[in-house]
Structure 1
């Protein structure tokens, strides 16, 4: 019995404790603390104690499943190189993604919906590279992916239906065109839509990185940074979990440039060391610098986060360079926060 109890506690100490998707405690906990947390979860959700324990274990299992599946349901990072006509290129894709960003703002779609739409767009284009039907402009495919994502995430297209999709798209196509393209995309993807996105990881990582009263600014800035990554074709080189972890790293550094942006807690949970994130963080920072401090050609994301709803984070100036010592793996050894 003692050995079983010790094994059970060791397993708990390796996993975060969640309640309704919110991290309750990540650090090592005693048996008494563990039981108190479980009792609190049970009372909060009107569950039995055993069901409460299953709740947080299941939540963590979902995260592990996302990590296992993110390589299986991702587009090829080089799918545009030599496989499409010259007119269909990363800049053309970026304009289509910006159109989806504008649509999500006008129609009030969730962040998860936008990220899934872009994921579907890239996976579809990756799967048809070399055999793309030029009669179907990419913008129609992008809008169809948004309609699919809305149905999957929000159980609706929009409050106003497909007609609003057409109107926002300047009547470049009809509702029938969108429906036909939806069917084509779904068949090509074999109806597999539940691919992990950077947003699905970011929601969890932000909870682990919660910084008390700064939580609102942390979330707004992280949303802005990770949305910039959607527009960039080059960011497809990185796994969604790495983009999410790098987003937290960069966001914490922008908000608190004098503090270490990564610590043992984040490293344990994400399984990424600072050196693993260096290249991705620097690329995200370059995107941030161009969007915030420069004169970008693509402005949809910047405009979205410039208003009061997101605390105007797209206008916040960041220091020009990140100290390289923050990417040293040994730097987190004494940083536990």
Structure 2
């Protein structure tokens, strides 16, 4: 009734503004900069020449509360506490994996997962990966008297070695590997520089949508595997990138962005129908086998073994390793290396950067990774050149990302310009 009575007055006052319109008008009046900037990578050569990175803000969507959270929070009804895993299980698993550091505190494990904006509980599927589970704990559990290593079955300490062996077997399967020469052998309109620009942009998209690191690595893997089998025009390269990220997000994320969000982030250069069609083509090529191991899969395991200096926080090693691993995604030449080789080489360069006076490689790392330093030399040199800006220096998204305080400014750290020759000599048995 009140609305009907006020209708003539409202009509006389003009059209009614929505909350969003009123907010935009207030920001415009205050001179606030526009936040939502979208981009189309239609002119890839021009973007390469200008070396410009454009930041975009995704559409905000409300986060759904966990099922039963509202019911449990009703007045007069106590909220049950989740059972905490014994710390002894974490210490035993860390020792079994070859780590000299104790279990980490809340949020200290994965910089990319720490930056996630998701408030939902972790996936139950995470229990299948012992490295991911032990590095993504929400809080340090209290130590229980007499608790053994088998107290927390999610750590899968007894199976960590077998799972690592399984991942090493998966990564060498030809159907899970992209061609290292597909730019020369398959593509006629797409160049290595265009691929670098696309990867750099996908890093920005993953950062702004708060996607986990595994989503980014899988998306780039799908892009390379698709381009290894199908010639593509340059105007469809961005479409391929967002379609691959849509698939990876559905596989990895708790609350993945919608197809409309990925269309929006490209400035609506592509329609939803085009995006879904490309998604279908990628899935057919992959034969719906989406869960291959990536650099991040091995990096989680190697980081605990590489961290030996108890005076320094393991966060520095983790952030620096993540930074170097993402830099390797930019380089088309790194496709010839297996993900485990890249992860092991990243640990070498990270340790060299943190403490250049000590040989970065030791018997412990050699045992955990299964590689001698001579087998990693070419990959180490490639990552070292990326860190020194000798390659892919025109794209800055990853370097800017890890220049933030929350990542301890690791992109500002530089290793020695020349790696000492003795560091490449194999260790004596």
TM-score if structure 1 supplies the norm length? 0.80
What RMSD, in angstroms, separates the aligned Cα atoms of the two structures? 2.7
1:309 aligns with 2:397: no
Kept after mapping to 1: 8 A contact 2:348/2:360: yes
Gap change, CA 1:92 and 1:75, over 3 Å in 2 = same
User: What's the counterpart of residue 63 of structure 1?
Assistant: 164
Gap change, CA 1:252 and 1:76, over 3 Å in 2 = same
Helix, strand or coil at the partner of 1:318: coil
Kept after mapping to 2: 8 A contact 1:103/1:165: no
Alignment of 1:180-199 (within 5 A): 180-199=277-296
Alignment partner of 1:101 out of 203, 227, 238: 203
Alignment partner of 1:269 out of 351, 368, 376: 368
Kept after mapping to 2: 8 A contact 1:100/1:114: yes
Kept after mapping to 1: 8 A contact 2:93/2:157: no
Gap change, CA 1:225 and 1:22, over 3 Å in 2 = farther
Report Cα offsets for 1:19-67 as digits up to 9, x if no partner. 599523356xxxxxxxxxx953223x2x5xxx98xx3232322211110
Question: How far apart, in 2, do the equivalents of 1:71 and 1:42 lie?
Answer: 32
Helix, strand or coil at the partner of 1:137: helix
1:24 aligns with 2:95: yes
Alignment of 1:180-259 (within 5 A): 180-211=277-308, 212=310, 213-259=312-358
Tell which structure's C-alpha radius of gyration is larger. Answer: 2
Gap change, CA 1:181 and 1:162, over 3 Å in 2 = same
Helix, strand or coil at the partner of 2:94: strand
User: What's the counterpart of residue 6 of structure 1?
Assistant: none
Report Cα offsets for 1:57-82 as digits up to 9, x if no partner. 32322211110111111101111113
Between structures 1 and 2, the one with greater helix share: 1
Report Cα offsets for 1:105-154 as digits up to 9, x if no partner. 100111111011111111111122xxx25397111111111011111111
Gap change, CA 1:295 and 1:267, over 3 Å in 2 = closer
In structure 2, the gaps of 5 or more residues are 1-88, 99-145
Report Cα offsets for 1:176-218 as digits up to 9, x if no partner. 2222211110011111111111111111111221233331110
1:305 deviates by 0.7
Question: How far apart, in 1, do the equivalents of 2:401 and 2:260 lie?
Answer: 23
1:238 deviates by 0.6
Kept after mapping to 2: 8 A contact 1:113/1:149: yes
Report Cα offsets for 1:291-324 as digits up to 9, x if no partner. 7xx9921111111111112111111232211101
In the comparison of the two structures, how many residue pairs are matched?
Answer: 294
Alignment of 1:75-224 (within 5 A): 75-85=178-188, 87-128=189-230, 132-134=231-233, 137-158=236-257, 161-211=258-308, 212=310, 213-224=312-323
1:42 aligns with 2:150: yes
Kept after mapping to 2: 8 A contact 1:22/1:207: no
Question: How far apart, in 2, do the equivalents of 1:234 and 1:266 lie?
Answer: 25
Kept after mapping to 1: 8 A contact 2:93/2:149: no
Report Cα offsets for 1:152-178 as digits up to 9, x if no partner. 1114322xx233222222222122222
User: What's the counterpart of residue 13 of structure 1?
Assistant: none
In structure 1, the gaps of 5 or more residues are 1-17, 28-37
Helix, strand or coil at the partner of 1:246: helix
